[in-house]
Amino acid sequence: MIEEKLGAPVGTALDRFIARRQEEFPFASGELSQLLRDIALASKIINREINRAGLAGIEGQADRENVQGEIQQKLDIASNIRFKRALMYGGETCAILSEEEADPIITDEAGAKYIVAIDPLDGSSNIDVNVSVGTIFSIYRRQSMAGAKLTPSELLQPGREQVAAGYILYGSSTMLVYTTGYGVNGFTLEPSLGEYFLSHPDMRMEANGSIYSINDGLYDQFSPGLVSYIQTCRKRGYKARYIGSLVADIHRNLLKGGIFIYPGTPSHPNGKLRLLYEGNPMAFLIEQAGGLASDGEGRIMDIGPSEIHQRTPLIIGSKVMVEELLEMLKEA
């Protein structure tokens, strides 16, 4: 079994872990490994900036809006710049799709093989109040020959085509969690060494759980099926846990078992979260850990995107919980 072959002892440094995995894949040329290292490096710089934000005067709003009309935080802009630089100078990325950029960034790297979708700093409105934030990334292989002009369909591949995805959680400790389709592994940043070490090997999500995470302020707009499910959770005495920072909410549920729901509502039928750099990477990770991710009708990773900033309802988490909610949505 390849999964067994890929095992690595706890405490392995991220670079070594990535290199060891690459050796296991025949024909792997190392570019994906380098790309993952580039992302890890940029995340360390952002981690430093987040930690110092209050002192450096870089928390708060930037008096600018992104393409979706949302007010950007100063750290949204700084994180976007850090990741863009890391990905562009790294040389493995031919296109970057960022939550903070209206259009795809096509790099000059004619031979580069990978397309990266990224939310550089998710939940950034939480920074001012010292609550966890995150970075979410998703990696696709280009389909055209190196050097050819990228086609729109290459930039809009369904999530099932992802070759890697992950998140960085800037929390009480900073963690990088990623998958390349052979399970999920979590690394914790050792700040004094500036290095990520394997701390959560082969992460698996409980098939069932007792945590539900949803913005209860939207309750009056929930569909009848969703209302029944939430009432069921309450009757069973499940814990309601919602940080409002996707990475932190998903990370907790991944470790403890649970369901995260961001539904569509009559005013926002596709909800709030973005398919390419929030829904798909989280779906890839959670499925790899044994969970499920749906938009209420089908698998998140089977959605064929029509535009890069597309939104999607998101129901994601422990398999039994997601299945039960989907059943109730169907019956209602």
Interface residues with ligand AHM (CB under 6 A)?
Answer: 70, 99, 119, 122-124, 215, 244-246, 272
- Max CA pair span of the chain: 58
Could you give the C-alpha distances from 279 to 148, 309, 328, in angstroms and in order? Answer: 29, 11, 22
- Which of 119, 206, 249, 295 is close enough to bind Mg ion by CB under 5 A? 119
Token couple for 152 = 């729109």
Smallest gap from Cβ 178 to Mg ion, in A, equals: 18
The smaller minimum CB distance to ligand AHM, of residues 38 and 99, is found at 99
The smaller minimum CB distance to ligand AHM, of residues 33 and 126, is found at 126
Confirm or reject binding of residue 122 to Mg ion (CB under 5 A).
Answer: yes
The span from the CA of 90 to the CA of 114, in Å, is 11
Which residue has the closest beta carbon to Mg ion? 122
Q: Which residues pair with 114 in a beta bridge?
A: 93, 141
The smaller minimum CB distance to ligand AHM, of residues 119 and 206, is found at 119
Beta strands in the chain (DSSP E): 61-65, 71-73, 93-98, 105-106, 114-122, 133-141, 162-170, 174-179, 184-190, 195-200, 211-213, 239-240, 259-262, 292-294, 314-317
The span from the CA of 132 to the CA of 248, in Å, is 6
Question: Which listed option, Mg ion, ligand AHM, none, makes contact with residue 70 (CB within 5 to 8 Å by class)?
Answer: ligand AHM
Smallest gap from Cβ 66 to ligand AHM, in A, equals: 8
Confirm or reject binding of residue 249 to Mg ion (CB under 5 A).
Answer: no
Smallest gap from Cβ 7 to ligand AHM, in A, equals: 32
The smaller minimum CB distance to ligand AHM, of residues 17 and 262, is found at 262
The span from the CA of 246 to the CA of 270, in Å, is 16
Question: Which listed option, ligand AHM, Mg ion, none, makes contact with residue 124 (CB within 5 to 8 Å by class)?
Answer: ligand AHM
Among 78-86, 115-123, 164-172, 183-191, which window interacts with Mg ion (CB under 5 A)? 115-123
The smaller minimum CB distance to Mg ion, of residues 59 and 122, is found at 122
Question: Which listed option, ligand AHM, Mg ion, none, makes contact with residue 244 (CB within 5 to 8 Å by class)?
Answer: ligand AHM
CB 143 within 8 A of CB 154: yes
